[in-house]
Amino acid sequence: MTKRIIIILSLALSYLGAVPALAQDYSKVEIKSTKVAGNVYMLEGAGGNIGVSVGPDGLLIVDDQFAPLADKIKAALRNLGEGKLKFVLNTHWHGDHTGGNASFSAEAPIIAHDNVRRRLASGQRLEIFKETIPAAPKEALPVITFDQSLSVHFNGEEIRVIHFPHGHTDGDSVIFFSGSNVVHLGDDFFAGRFPFVDLESGGSVQGLIKNVDEIIPKLPADVKLIPGHGPISTVEDLKAYRRMLVETTDLVRKQLAAGKTLEQVKKAGLPDEWKSWGTGFIKTELWLEIVFRSLSVK
Ligand SMILES: [Zn+2]
């Protein structure tokens, strides 16, 4: 294997955290903390962006990246406030968002959609990466689950957790920090890059577009958005992402209707306008494959 292939493979594996400590050298990862607005901060390290509510009631976190980073994340949280960790929310089950659960559950209850617990508890297969993820231990499972939505009244605001079905997975939640005017969109939003859509976990590209269409009207114009991956964003950034989803999906749909194969769709590629969107974890060809497969499901 060439070095390049090894790097690509280890990035792909570390994205979902199936091969935790071996695939990536977490000792080099630093946790960067940024104030978003109001009570809310964002932590970046490796994996999905972490949202943090900091205030007189203590700390609440949204997602917890990879298990080997838990101590570094805890140190970053101590720098944000003296208060205790009171709640952990998971936006969805993927290992780059829930890998720290087993460590953080000793301090605070984990809250997530029913399907997050179900998928973590049973283990999963990610066909597109030829990857099998074993069942998570009991300590990593959410202990409070919900079907549609719930609210945590914390640090002087209502933190509203709303489930959006069949987008990135079938267990995604979007977290509205109503007083701080910040929204964490989990992996329904990859800012400025093609998203991974987990078709084996009940996700769908068409469902993702529908979710984004439902989320946009709920957002005040000056809201700050925390994407699952990528920098702090605005409503305009989310609208650009929506346009990318709609236009690239339409292109694939037309080719499917004309009887093109996946290989032909990949070879045709996408207009230059979307080139920079394929420089993240999901390259253009893989994005086209995800869209093709999603549209092909009957
Ligand atoms: Zn994900």
Q: Note the pLDDT tens digit of each residue in 148-180.
A: 999 999 999 999 999 999 999 999 999 999 999
- Ligand 1 centroid–CA 197 distance in Å is 8
Helix (H, G, I), strand (E, B) or coil at 110: strand
Judge contact between 170 and 201, C-beta under 8 A. Answer: yes
What would the two tokens of residue 173 be? 């939640």
- Ligand 1 centroid–CA 96 distance in Å is 7
To the nearest whole number, what is the mean pLDDT of the chain? Answer: 93
- Ligand 1 centroid–CA 17 distance in Å is 10
pLDDT at 22 over 50: no
pLDDT at 19 over 50: no
- Ligand 1 centroid–CA 75 distance in Å is 24
- Ligand 1 centroid–CA 209 distance in Å is 16
- Ligand 1 centroid–CA 72 distance in Å is 21
- Ligand 1 centroid–CA 11 distance in Å is 14
| 157-164 and 149-154 strand pairing | antiparallel
- Ligand 1 centroid–CA 196 distance in Å is 7
- Ligand 1 centroid–CA 125 distance in Å is 14
- Ligand 1 centroid–CA 208 distance in Å is 12
Q: What is the pLDDT of residue 285?
A: 97
Q: What is the mean pLDDT of residues 205-216?
A: 98
- Ligand 1 centroid–CA 258 distance in Å is 32
Q: What is the mean pLDDT of residues 107-135?
A: 94
- Ligand 1 centroid–CA 259 distance in Å is 31
- Ligand 1 centroid–CA 218 distance in Å is 22
Q: What is the mean pLDDT of residues 209-226?
A: 97
Task: Say how far apart CA 240 and CA 194 lie, in whole Å.
Answer: 12
- Ligand 1 centroid–CA 94 distance in Å is 5
Q: What is the pLDDT of residue 297?
A: 87
- Ligand 1 centroid–CA 92 distance in Å is 7
- The per-residue pLDDT for range 43-78, each reduced to its tens digit, is 999 999 999 999 999 999 999 999 999 999 999 999
- Ligand 1 centroid–CA 56 distance in Å is 31
Q: Which of 178, 30, 159, 38 is nearest to 91 (CA)?
A: 159
At residue 128 the predicted structure's pLDDT band, cuts being 50, 70 and 90, is confident
- Ligand 1 centroid–CA 207 distance in Å is 15
Judge contact between 183 and 175, C-beta under 8 A. Answer: yes
Query: Under 8 Å CB-to-CB from 257, ≥6 apart: which residues?
Result: none
Tell me the backbone φ, ψ of residue 231, rounded to 5 degrees. Answer: -80, 165
